[in-house]
Amino acid sequence: MIAVIILAAGVGNRYGTKIPKQFLKINKKEIIEISIDVFKQCKDVDFISIVTNNEYVDHCQKFKVDKIVIGGEKRRESVYNGLVNLPEKTEYVIVHDAVRPLIDTDLVNKHISLIKTNKYAAIDTVVGITDNLIETNNDGYHIKIIPRKNIRLSFTPETFNYRILLECHKKRIEQNLEIPEIYDDASLVNYFGHIVKTIEMKGFNSKITFKDDLELIKYFIDK
């Protein structure tokens, strides 16, 4: 069984609107709804859940997904809440940010095909960079040039062996680990020694954080 967790618990403080950005509209459709529709079109997806904050549980009922879960204060807490509320027969799980609407069924199906080989604990969506990366010190001086050849930006969706991802989250909780450099679940799985395979995405799928980001997303959707 393949399940999807769509993370929509953020309140959008940096975006600066009363309505969380995942519930704003692009062409009369809420941003979260764009991703939901993509996953519903994937025949191998069996179960879709939304993790949201308590205030928007009723709002999310209209999307007609299989489960709505209340998230935590931090992203990792929301993911864990989503994981423990999946059906017991779940084998694989796709974790996706609601504010990354530029996905399609082809990308999701590639994730599913790779994870079902059972060669990898996780599949991560990445995009190559075209700009130089420079490490600086606290005073703003160049310290080091980081070669961009093998550098990638990590996006969602991320797809996992469900049991492995759940085990990694439980280990983090049991060991009370605070790992500042780990923001996503593929990195968490890799931290605990599991193999993560990447899929390089064509195009653009940066998340919506600021108002300018929404305008850029609108441009790509219209295009």
Q: Distance between CA atoms of 84 and 65, rounded to whole angstroms?
A: 17
Nearest 10 degrees: Cα torsion 121, 125, 129, 133: -50
User: Starting from the edge strand earliest in sequence, which strands make up the sheet with 122-128, in order?
Assistant: 67-70, 47-52, 2-8, 92-97, 152-161, 122-128, 196-200
With vertex at residue 72, the alpha carbon angle to CA 207 and CA 197, rounded to the nearest 5 degrees, is: 50
Owner of token pair 């807490």: 77
pTM of the model: 0.90
pLDDT of res. 15: 47
pLDDT on residue 192: 96
Token pair belonging to 181: 């450099």
Give how many domains the chain has, as a whole number: 1
Tokens for 138? 């606290």
Tell me the average pLDDT across 87-112: 96
Can you tell me the distance from the alpha carbon of 156 to that of 35, in angstroms, rounded to the nearest whole number? 11
The enclosing domain of 168 has a CATH number of 3.90.550.10
Q: How far is CA 163 from the centre of its chain?
A: 18
Q: Torsions phi, psi of 67, nearest 5?
A: -155, 140
**Residue 196 pLDDT > 50, yes or no?**
yes
> Does residue 181 contact residue 172 with C-beta atoms inside 8 Å?
no
d(CA 7, CA 51): 5
Amino acid found at 34: I
pLDDT in tens, 129-139: 888 899 999 99
Tell me which residue range forms the domain holding 123.
2-222
Strand intervals (E) in the chain: 2-8, 25-26, 29-30, 47-52, 67-70, 92-97, 122-128, 133-136, 142-146, 152-161, 196-200
At which residue do the structure tokens 């005073």 appear?
Answer: 139
The tokens of 11 are what? Answer: 């309140």
Residue-wise pLDDT tens digits, 13-54: 554 567 899 999 988 899 999 999 999 999 999 999 999 999
Are residues 51 and 71 in contact, defined by beta-carbon separation less than 8 angstroms?
A: yes
pLDDT level of residue 206 (50, 70, 90 thresholds): low
Q: Looking at the chain, how many residues does it have? A: 223
